[in-house]
Amino acid sequence: MTLRHATACAFLAAITGFAAPSSKAAVAVDIRVAPPPPPVVVAPAPRPGWVWIDGYWRWNGQRHVWVKGYWARARPGYRYVPAHWVQRGPYWHFVSGGWIR
């Protein structure tokens, strides 16, 4: 791809509102089954330059499945908001975790 072609593609994407798909697409999940209480997990001791991301319940289409926590490299100026479920009337809505300023 030439520089001229790449520039034209970028310009067309900008004026049409097209955006390349992100590597993590948000998926809305609303179900009538409340997530179970989280299991008791002892968070590991803090590590400089790293943030512990708590585990969460994921809906697999039939039931809740526990996703274990993990370490992620800290992002200066950001904080991590963990994945969680929010009740909306009779439904439970999944909110993905992510970094915010």
pTM equals 0.69
Tell me what pLDDT residue 26 has. Answer: 60
Tell me what pLDDT residue 12 has. Answer: 38
Tell me what pLDDT residue 74 has. Answer: 97
Tell me what pLDDT residue 81 has. Answer: 97
Report how far residue 88's alpha carbon sits from residue 19's, in angstroms, rounded to the nearest whole number.
Answer: 30
Considering Cα of 17, then 21, then 26, then 27, what sign does the dihedral take? positive
Tell me what pLDDT residue 43 has. Answer: 86
Q: What is the mean pLDDT of each run of 10 residues along the chain (101 residues)?
A: 45 39 61 95 92 96 97 97 97 97 95
Tell me what pLDDT residue 9 has. Answer: 42
For the chain, the domains span: 24-100
